Amino acid sequence: MEKEQNQNIENDTSKKRDDDEVVSNENIEISKNETETISDDKTDNLETKLLELEDKLARTFAEMENQRRRFEKEKDEAFEYGGFSFAKEALNLIDNLERSKQILQNDESLKNSDALKKTIEHLNIINKDLISIFSKNNIKPIESLNKKLDPNFHQAMMEIEDDQKEPGIIIQEIQKGFTIKDRLLRPALVAVSKKSENNDKKYEENKENLENK
């Protein structure tokens, strides 16, 4: 009897040991899973942070490249068009020469005199030299006379009746215009042709007669 009791006690102890081992193994498995989950979370966080850093770096490099290109463009424009204001002011020399010629030519006391002819010749030489200097620096006069009015280069100041030309043809240059490279330095001030009022009336009358027939 005592032997059987001992046997039962050993069996219970063995069973308890087995149960404890099962519980321990389960705890180890749970702990392992939790560790793997934490590890996966850390990996995901690191990957997210890496992607964010890569995005920030890419944006930073893009901004730096845009700034570099902008600075290069500004530098090139400053080199090519840095004298824009100076060139525009220098055109006053040509304007003053033209005005001086007009004043001298309209002076009754100087008309047909040798002094006037020589003075005009010298003014023309100076004007020609100035145009040549401007041209060497890519400052060129705008062709206007007998051209069709182009708002990009010409500014119409008045209309003059001229039945020999189509309307909108430049027949007088009031002030010469200039370009600097591919930019407008100043527009040419011009007078353009228009049909006379009599011709307009005749055209309207002929049109009405044709419609009435």
Q: Is the pLDDT of residue 187 over 90?
A: yes
As given in the structure block, the two tokens for residue 172 are 């007088």
* 193 domain residue, yes or no: yes
Q: Is the pLDDT of residue 17 over 70?
A: no
- Residues 6 or more apart whose CB falls under 8 angstroms from that of 162 comprise 169, 171, 193, 194
**What residue numbers bound the domain in which 168 lies?**
140-213
Question: Higher confidence at residue 111 or residue 161?
Answer: 161
Question: Higher confidence at residue 41 or residue 130?
Answer: 130
* 213 domain residue, yes or no: yes
Same domain flag for 23 and 64:
yes
Beta strands 154-161; 188-194: pairing state:
parallel
Same domain flag for 97 and 40:
no
| Residues belonging to the chain | 213
Question: Higher confidence at residue 96 or residue 24?
Answer: 96
Same domain flag for 40 and 101:
no
Q: Is the pLDDT of residue 57 over 80?
A: no
Q: Please tell me the total count of domains within the chain.
A: 3
The band of 48, judged by pLDDT with boundaries at 50, 70 and 90, is: confident
* 57 domain residue, yes or no: yes
* 154 domain residue, yes or no: yes
* 166 domain residue, yes or no: yes
Same domain flag for 186 and 154:
yes
Output the pLDDT for position 23: 47
* DSSP code, position 162: -
Output the pLDDT for position 157: 94
| pTM of the complete model beyond 0.75 | no
Same domain flag for 113 and 49:
no
* 41 domain residue, yes or no: yes
The domain boundary residue, chosen from 53, 81, 109: 81
Output the pLDDT for position 189: 94
* 157 domain residue, yes or no: yes
* 88 domain residue, yes or no: no
Same domain flag for 148 and 195:
yes
Question: Higher confidence at residue 19 or residue 152?
Answer: 152
Kindly state the average pLDDT of the residues 21-28.
52
- Residues 6 or more apart whose CB falls under 8 angstroms from that of 177 comprise 141, 142, 144, 153, 154, 155, 184, 185, 186, 187, 188, 189
Q: Is the pLDDT of residue 196 over 70?
A: yes
